[in-house]
Chain A
Amino acid sequence: MSVDTDTVKRIGHLARIRVEEQDLDSLADELNNILGFVEQLNEVDVEGVMPMTSVIPMRQRLRPDQVNDGGYAPKIVANAPLSEDNFFMVPKVVE
């Protein structure tokens, strides 16, 4: 598996990271290096091994269904660049 400059552009866009045109080639090289390194893992035989989703050998802890948070709308919007009546205000997004 290897990436070309179009893929780099696309990944950048999906992650909302601005990638300058002149950086595309070197980024593609870097990513391909990383992928090449990861590729080595394919040599390991994982037949019948469940994918590991966590390094901690424990189950997920559950919490009781109780309302014990929230109720502080002014704090939630405190850092928002713009807010009104405790709503966040963002540039218009209409589908």
Chain B
Amino acid sequence: MTLVDTRTPNPDYFIAGATGDWEMVIGLEVHAQVTSESKLFSGSSTRFGEPPNNNVSFVDAAMPGMLPVINEECVRQAVRTGLGLKAKINKRSLFDRKNYFYPDLPQGYQISQFKDPIVGEGEVYLDMGDKVGEVTIGIERLHLEQDAGKSIHDQHPNMSFVDLNRSGVALMEIVSKPDIRSSAEARAYITKLRTILRYLGTCDGNMEQGSLRADINVSVRKPGGEFGTRCEIKNINSVRFAGQAIEYEARRQIDILEDGGEVVQQTRLFDPKTGETRSMRSKEEAHDYRYFPDPDLLPLEFDDALIEELAQNLPELPDEKQARLMADYGITKYDAGVLVASRASADFYESVAKGRDGKLAANWVINDLFGRLSKEGLDVRTSPVDAGQLGGIVDLISSGDISGKIAKELFEIVWSEGGNPAQIVEQRGMKQVSDTGAIEKIVDEIIAANPEQVGKVKDKPSMIGWFVGQVMKATQGKANPQAVNKILREKLGL
């Protein structure tokens, strides 16, 4: 891979050092578990959380004479993902053996794609806010490979336990170009990639279950200068840890360089407890994987028809959906960005917004509903208020039947008790009083009962607020505030 610098150095990202400013250069290798029923080269299950070695066939355990046969769906998922990343699909790709010894790798090699991956160069777009704007991160490649098993070290004083359930599960390794220039961009990149994968349905993106893990290459340089020596931080399984690991690692490298030292290329591990990275105890030759084409597997070839079929059935992706929501519902880029963060949120919003005021719907979905959901640790799929109910509340506001304040109360009732918003408003007499005759009558009563205040308000017009409050009190908050204001001003001669 030839390194090409596609970015203009951005002073906002510079890190101040004793000898001047520094700039980070970051590239990511994301391992995404392919969503499939069975493994990449065997018919055993990929289900998470099964008893030890239950999801293991003789192929996965590398018993003598067992041969791999590739899973068609895994190939399709890789192509779908490639299309979602606007990448070049390689109609002919090869599988290679990556050789190393470890107890959780029974074959003694991982079947991977080295020279000819299934997917080539693509792009991911990040919205880095008003200041930095949109950033394009290049994708170098995507290839299919097998996952390894799992070693457990805390069950026995001097033995490790090995569970091969994950052994042979299909992974997509998605390699970015070294286009990332800050920990914020790295976090945004992982988040965006995860969103795209979830939209496509090609990886569930559950980082806590290990379905998505990142190896992060970090180096530092003088802004816009030559690329520095990089270190690779292995197996990061949370977006937050990615940010912390990068910040620590960049600082560590700057300190070394400013002390006149040299960064040694090495593999490092991030410790979430200390927030630090440390060198992995690995031997020089461990990196000699002696790749060669796997003689058990023929070249993987397919034709344009398969690519076209998959392209036609691709769902609307986050960037397109964001643009469409802005155009169709007149909402801001920011709001649309929040809504498309998950397909479920966007779908929910669209059910609420359809045929209604899009901006009002966005406010209620994002501020009231999402705000409340995140406070309660729920998400849109487990929301006690469904799209129909929230749409009903929006309707009542739009028609002027309830005020914004009453709407909040109504939302609370629907949240905790459920029910049809229009019926609740009817039954509990929550309707806003817009009938000017009724409001005038109340205003007259209040003016008559408070001659002292009426005298004061002539000199101090801001006192009108007190009168509004009295009217609201008398109507239990149901009077239309605009109407109340208008009538009061007329009657008080303001």
Closest to B38 in A: A67
Contacts of B158 in A (CB 8 A): 91-92
Query: Is B354's beta carbon under 8 Å from chain A?
Result: no
Q: Report the tally of A-B residue pairs with Cβ distances under 8 A.
A: 139
B70 contacts chain A at the CB level, 8 A cutoff: yes
Total residues of chain A contacting the partner, CB 8 A: 37
Tell me whether A38 is interfacial, beta carbon within 8 Å.
Answer: no
In the assembled complex, the CB of A30 is this many whole angstroms from the nearest CB of chain B, namely 19
Q: Taking the nearest CB of chain A, how far is it from the CB of B150, in angstroms?
A: 10
Q: How far is the CA of A63 from the CA of B74 in the complex (A)?
A: 10
| C-alpha spacing A85/B53, complex, angstroms | 9
Category for how many chain B residues contact A:
35 or more
Once A76-B164, A89-B159, A93-B103 are accepted as A-B contacts, the answer to whether A63 and B69 lie under 8 Å apart by CB is yes
Q: Decide yes or no whether B311 CB sits under 8 A from chain A.
A: no
Chain B residues near A84: list those with CB within 8 A: 156, 161
A95 partner residues in chain B, CB cutoff 8 A = 269, 280-282
- Which residue among A10, A16, A62, A94 has the maximum number of chain B CB atoms within 10 Å of its CB? A62
In angstroms, Cα B156 to Cα A23, docked, is: 39
A49 on the interface (CB 8 Å rule)? no
The reply to whether the CB of B52 lies closer than 8 angstroms to some CB of chain A is: yes
Cβ of B298 and Cβ of A89 under 8 Å apart? Answer: no
Chain A residues whose C-beta falls within 8 Å of the C-beta of B112 in the assembled complex: none
Q: Taking A66-B43, A93-B103 as contacts, is the C-beta distance between A58 and B298 under 8 angstroms?
A: yes
A70-B57, A92-B158 in contact; A87/B163 too (CB < 8 A)?
Answer: yes
- B352 located at the interface, meaning its Cβ lies under 8 Å from any Cβ of chain A in the complex: no
Taking CB atoms and an 8 Å cut-off, the chain A residues in 50-78 that contact chain B are 53-54, 56, 58-71, 73, 76-77
B interface residues with partner A (beta carbon < 8 Å)? 36-38, 42-45, 51-61, 69-75, 94, 99, 101-103, 151-153, 155-156, 158-164, 269, 280-282, 285, 288, 290, 293, 295, 297-301
